[in-house]
Amino acid sequence: MYNLTVFLIRVSPMLCSLAILLHIVFSYFEVWLTFVDIFSEFFGKGILGTFTFLILSKTYKFCKYHRMFLWYILLNQILVIYDRIFIIPLNDKTLFVLYLFISGIFLFFILYLYRKYGDRETKSDNC
């Protein structure tokens, strides 16, 4: 059970990030695929779940770049909640570019942290 737990904690944030990115792209192009919606609902919802994964990643001593996926998920969830409550005054294209810009920044930091710390932390942490 320990190995399964570590595997799920390691892989779930990456799948959730992928689901959020696919949902953003398909929503902008108005492609409503049932698979993407189900995938997004299964992996991409819940701030409480994201905080739980952050705590578990600290508990199991995961790498910094694994936690970057969680911070990306959390920021996207906060933006969606803010947009639903206060309605961000941007048109669809600008909002789409904003979400892609945020995704690109986090992807850059994930790759940077993996290149910088990945090899060293692989031997000591659960990377």
Q: Please determine, for residue 20, whether its predicted confidence score (pLDDT) is greater than 90.
A: no
* Rounded Cα distance, 77 and 50, in Å: 9
pLDDT tens-digit readout, 7-19: 888 888 888 888 8
pTM score, whole prediction: 0.84
* Rounded Cα distance, 41 and 55, in Å: 22
State the residue range of the domain holding 113.
2-124
Tokens for 35? 């698979």
The count of domains in the chain is 1
Q: Please determine, for residue 44, whether its predicted confidence score (pLDDT) is greater than 70.
A: no
Q: Please determine, for residue 43, whether its predicted confidence score (pLDDT) is greater than 80.
A: no
Cβ contacts of 74 within 8 Å, gap of 6 or more: 47, 50, 51, 54
Q: pLDDT category, 118, cuts 50, 70, 90?
A: low
